[in-house]
Amino acid sequence: MHAGVSGLLLSLAIGLPAGLLGRCSPDDAVALGVLARERVALTATVSEIVTELPLAQGSPVRRGDVLVRLDDRIRRADLQLAQAELASATANLEKLQAGPRKEEVAIARARVAGAQAALREAQSTYERNRVLVENNTKTPASLDRDLANRDSAAAELQSAQEYLGELESGARPEDIRMAEASVASAMAHVNVARHRLDDLEITASRDGILDSLPWNLGERVAAGSPVAVLLTGEVPFARVYVPEPYRVRIAVGDRLTVHVDGLEDAFAGTVRWISSEPAFTPYYALNQEDRSRLMYLAEIDLPEGAADLAVGIPVQVDMP
């Protein structure tokens, strides 16, 4: 079919409402459509300003190529904060695992020795003054003070001994487990912050062609909106509308002849998918005559010889 006629039929098949679509003769044993590739839309996870567009629209890209960079100052600060919290939690865990320093233990032992000496002195003073009270040389009130001093020295000695024992025993297992949990939590925060930072560098998820960059340099993108669109796949496929009378004759895997506008030779394509629902008015709203005008969207794979063809070229497929 001549290219101009094919383009006109394509417009009728795709762009017109169901009423006008019915004017196309159902006796034409062709399905009209265009060449297409799979479209991959890469979206922004946050609302930030576009700071860099390394590649131009239409450029071929490989998986992992940077397509868009967004302002990352806030996310980078969040990552540094999370890393600082991780460093603090790790240092606290290492401190508990290492136990007290030998200098701290030596100080605690010196305090025990000093408390023991103070207790001996208080005990001696109490015994000496108790004899004097029995001989009526000192008053009982002074003996009560000596007894209180002795008991206070004994309490100081016990406190010093308990502190020394705590240092020599090291950290409790519960404290170590709590510190380990704090480290794990801080590490998770670092991973989340790093992932969010990486999301500000939009990279190609597949090999293909950079079809569109919807946002310009310096614009603030909306969260969830596409910032880059890829056309993927090594070979384009034909996306066509199959007339209703031929729907029952076509199944996935069937071989059909595909004509591309501007090329004399046709391609042998393979049906990879065909819709089970009509593309336009639901069948139950139409009478028998109108149902023959329904269209079913189908996708037909082309051979490697069509790899260099551009998307959007009109095609027509011979119906069986």
Domain 3-71+206-318: CATH class, spelled out? mainly beta
pLDDT tens digit string along 118-151?
888 888 888 887 877 777 777 777 777 878 888 8
Q: What is the mean pLDDT of the chain?
A: 85
Domain boundaries, the chain: 3-71+206-318, 79-188
* Range 88-104 average pLDDT: 85
For strands 208-212 and 267-274, give the pairing. Answer: unpaired
* Range 96-116 average pLDDT: 82
What pLDDT is attached to residue 283?
53
What pLDDT is attached to residue 17?
38
- What percent of the chain has pLDDT above 90? 57
The torsion angle over the Cα atoms of residues 188, 193, 196 and 198, rounded to 10 degrees, is -100
What pLDDT is attached to residue 1?
38
What pLDDT is attached to residue 12?
39
Task: Mean pLDDT check: name the lowest of 102-106, 107-111, 307-311.
Answer: 102-106
pLDDT tens digit string along 32-74?
999 999 999 999 999 999 999 999 999 999 999 999 999 999 9
pLDDT tens digit string along 158-204?
888 887 777 766 768 888 899 999 999 999 999 999 999 999 999 99
Compute the distance between CA of residue 11 and CA of residue 15 in angstroms, rounded to an integer: 5
Token pair 């310096």: residue: 218
Which residue intervals of 51-172 are DSSP H helices? Answer: 73-98, 102-134, 140-169
Compute the distance between CA of residue 79 and CA of residue 69 in angstroms, rounded to an integer: 17
Whether residue 3 has pLDDT greater than 60: no
Confidence of residue 288 (pLDDT cuts 50, 70, 90): low
Supply 315's token pair.
């095609």
List CB contacts of 296: < 8 A, sequence separation 6 or more. Answer: 241, 242, 244, 247, 274, 275, 276, 277, 278, 279
- What percent of the chain has pLDDT above 70? 86
Task: Mean pLDDT check: name the lowest of 59-73, 102-116, 164-178, 241-255.
Answer: 164-178
Bridge partners of residue 203, in order along the sequence: 66
